[in-house]
Structure 1
Amino acid sequence: MDLDTSVYTKRKSSVDAIVRANAEGPGLCAIILTFISYILIMATMPFSFCFCIKVVQEYERAVIFRLGRLLKGGAKGPGLFFVIPCIDSYRKIDLRTVSFDVPPQEILSKDSVTIAVDAVVYYRISEPLSSVCNVTDYSHSTRLLAATTLRNVLGTKNLAEILSERETISRNMQSSLDEATDPWGVKVERVEIKDVRLPVQLQRAMAAEAEAAREARAKVIAAEGEHRASRSLKEAAEVISQSPGALQLRYLQTLQTISAEKNSTILFPLPIDIISHMMKKK
């Protein structure tokens, strides 16, 4: 709420400054020229209406200057408005949202990693008078400021933060740009980071690191499986040792499994009694 109040105060003060600058009435020469222009318009009617009546669309506003001074009443439109040829000039301002690509910026992150980052900025004109009177070219100025803000914001972040906190960085850029462009009558609506390109050597190093981490996890998982399998085999051996007939059943089950395969297999049956006799000797 405090930020919105400060933005509104700055905008209002900017417009008030323009109005105060125009508070002084036109000089005698300007009055005479205006009077002569009105006489010429009336004398050439209705042909003069083709030059005096202008139209702006619903999404446009017209900022009119008369003999170099801003005309009272603010921006005109939408619809019809009246200008005096020869002494009036006007400029149309488009109020629709405009988007542009920020060129890729070579940025040195906080942890000394060089990356290339590009973004997209969406903005619109919220105050036509300020966009005409306070800045020469609001579009070009906003583009330059967006590139500078992108470099300044990302220069304070580590590589991991840039890759994982894109939304936070976008919001910070949007608030910084909106505050800086408010005196120009520009409202920055959204900032999005399109792409973060890393050097090839850094990509290879990160890929090798990720592969090594995956191999380490695979080895740990395999070791845990071997450990669990050995404990299961130990428990199975203890169960079989308690029942001599279980070993015979296990032997027959193994023979059935081998015979079910279509491979050429040679079996040398070994009586269970011999094995049990050898186990008793131990």
Structure 2
Amino acid sequence: MDYDNADDIDNNTENDLYAIITGFEDNVAPNKPTVNKVDNNDIVVTGKAEANSTITVKAGSNQLGTAKTSSKGTYSVTIKKQAAGVTLSVFAKDAAGNTSAASTTKVVDVIAPTKPIVNKVDNNDKVVTGKAEANSTVTVKRGSTVLGTAKANSSGNYSVPIAVQSAGTKLTATAKDAAGNVSVATTVTVVDVIAPSKPKVNKVDDNDLKVTGKAEANSTVTVKVGSKVLGTAKANSNGNFTVKIKAQKKGITIAVTAKDAAGNTSQATTLKVVRH
């Protein structure tokens, strides 16, 4: 080998330099690298390739990073996090400048959707609505019982049909993406919007100092004459109530209503005071 023109080595290509140093020209490309799974949390791409080769990772024509393999062929290329579904191409280039065919891998989605937003649900509702990750599947449960599922649209809006639930029932809603990742649950309590039934009121005469009857259990019963409140009392767990009042004259019309814990008030039951 002629080393008289060593000053010209700096002008040679990488291939020429390799040939000068090793005594032969390498024109065989490395094998395709092996690539370990890459997910949308990862900031490195790892795998194996030809020892001491240079690994390049690309997304389309965009180069994300490069690194040299170890003497055992392992590599770790630092990249920015990539979105799920992005296709990465990984190449190995040896010291002679030969580049392998690309190994491709898709970025796997391992990030669960955010908790769904759930609109108010009341004890008249037959659907649960809100917003979740676009195209995710929303599941509504009562405890471990699935009440319904539906797919969110491309804007994330969803509407899950359910059977009407009792006031105070706790519902949970979760969103599952196409990769099977499930969000943390959002919990809502079914709101009471249904007013109690009209109270049943026993006869009241002009000697009576109380009004009795039956109303929704634990509701608050109010007795009025016009806009004037004569008295209030709470119905017991069986719905029985006794409201203390002053004696009223015969012919006076009294009105009796029941209000539940959610503030819903029944229609009034009216009756006229009779003579004792």
Does TM, scored on the shorter chain, surpass 0.5? no
Which structure's residues are more often strand, by fraction? 2
Of structures 1 and 2, the one scoring higher in RCO (CA 8 A, sep 6+) is: 1
Q: Which protein has the larger Cα radius of gyration, Structure 1 or Structure 2?
A: 1
Q: Give the TM-score taking structure 2 as reference length.
A: 0.29
